[in-house]
Amino acid sequence: MKRLFAIEWYKLKNHSPFWIFAGLHILILLLIYMSAKFFLDFLAGKGEMINEVIDPSVIPIFGFPDIWHNMTYIAGFLKIIPAIYVIISVCNEISYGTMRQNIMNGMSRVEFMQSKFFLILILSLSVTLFLLVAGLTLGFIYTREIEMHSIVKYSGFLAAYFLQVTVYQLIAFLLALLIKRTGLAMGLLILYTYIVEPIVVFRIKTEWIKGLFPLKAINNLIRLPFGKYMLRETQDYVALQDLGIVLAYAVLFIYLIILVLRKRDL
């Protein structure tokens, strides 16, 4: 295991696109979190319409415990970034011929898959860790009265976020293996994520069927949190049923990845 991690880390640490993607990801997250507060203050200064309902500047979006739900929900929009890096990495292995070479040198096909799982794990863990640190920092700044139980409450959303980005990267891995070309695989992932599935899901009326589509299922782990500030009913927990569907998808994608790797002539 340590060996496969070491192999993947050698490939990763000298690959400049990895650092560019990581930097970009963190920069965008920071910008969003920093600007959100300004945006709310800006809203507070505008028109009475909003102010009649609630004063936006007192909304505790960055206070414990709400911060975990809010942050992870926002971060969910950027899960395309690590997924694209996974596509670049896997497609490069194919076009450089290094996947084939690794196997000739004595990796098993399953070990190759495991080494890429380490890549996915590194990406998911580091962004989750970033959210943890950023969340604690912002939380301590913006919470008026800090209590231990409120810090921990809702922190399960971090785990949900970890699962969300991980499973999304599994989709990217599978797609990269099937398509083999970086640009095409990226295009298809973006097309499916932002156009195909949203349209299909939009046309379906029944809620539980919507939840069966992979992206919808992944996104359902962390549902829109902001409704509660407008006194609407909001699901502020990860439903077991949503978790089950996502885990089932994870198993399916891993199975398909093994299948493709086993059957293919490299």
Partner 1 sequence: MPQPAVSTHQLTKHYGRIRALENLTLDIPEGSVFGILGPNGSGKTTTLGMLLDVLNPTKGTFLWFGSEPGPENRRKTGSLLETPCFYPYLSAIVNLKIIAEIKKSGFDRIDEVLKTVGLYERRNSPYRTFSLGMKQRLALAAALLCDPPLLILDEPTNGLDPIGIAEIRDIITAVSRQGKTVILASHLLDEVQKVCSHFCILDKGVLVYTGPVSDASDSEQRVEVGATDMELLKKTVVTYPYLIRYEEGNATITATIPADKVSEFSGHITRKGIIITHFVILRKSLEKQFLAILNDQP
Q: Which stretch binds partner 1 (CB under 8 A): 4-12, 32-40, 42-50, 216-224?
A: 4-12
1 touches partner 1 (CB under 8 A): no
Question: Cα(159)–Cα(64) distance, rounded to whole angstroms?
Answer: 17
**Least distance from C-beta 218 to partner 1, angstroms?**
31
205 touches partner 1 (CB under 8 A): no
206 touches partner 1 (CB under 8 A): no
Contacts 24+ apart (CB under 8 A), 212-217: 212/245, 214/167, 214/171, 214/249, 215/168, 217/242, 217/245, 217/246, 217/249
54 touches partner 1 (CB under 8 A): no
Interior/surface letters 206-231, b for 16+ CB within 10 angstroms, e for the rest: eeeebbebbbbbbbbbbbebeeebee
105 touches partner 1 (CB under 8 A): yes
109 touches partner 1 (CB under 8 A): yes
Q: Which of residues 8-27 bind partner 1 (CB under 8 A)?
A: 10-11, 14-16
180 touches partner 1 (CB under 8 A): no
104 touches partner 1 (CB under 8 A): yes
Asked if 151 and 140 touch (Cβ cutoff 8 Å), the reply is no
Asked if 77 and 193 touch (Cβ cutoff 8 Å), the reply is no
Nearer to partner 1, 100 or 181 (CB): 100
Look up residue 7 and give its two tokens.
């192999």
Nearer to partner 1, 102 or 166 (CB): 102
User: For the chain, where are the E strands, in sequence order?
Assistant: none
6 touches partner 1 (CB under 8 A): yes
Burial (CB count <10 Å: 0-12, 13-18, 19+), residue 104: exposed
103 touches partner 1 (CB under 8 A): yes
122 touches partner 1 (CB under 8 A): no
Q: Which of 175, 191, 181, 163 is nearest to 250 (CA)?
A: 163
Question: Cα(29)–Cα(182) distance, rounded to whole angstroms?
Answer: 25
Contacts 24+ apart (CB under 8 A), 101-107: 103/266
Binding mask 60-99 for partner 1 (x = CB under 8 A): ------------------------------------xxx-
265 touches partner 1 (CB under 8 A): yes
User: Residue from 1, 38, 48, 106 that binds partner 1 (CB under 8 A)?
Assistant: 106
| C-alpha torsion sign, points 88, 91, 92, 93 | positive
**Least distance from C-beta 48 to partner 1, angstroms?**
58
User: Residue from 21, 26, 111, 196 that binds partner 1 (CB under 8 A)?
Assistant: 111
**Least distance from C-beta 17 to partner 1, angstroms?**
9
For partner 1, the binding residues (CB under 8 A) are 3, 6-7, 10-11, 14-16, 96-98, 100-109, 111, 263-266
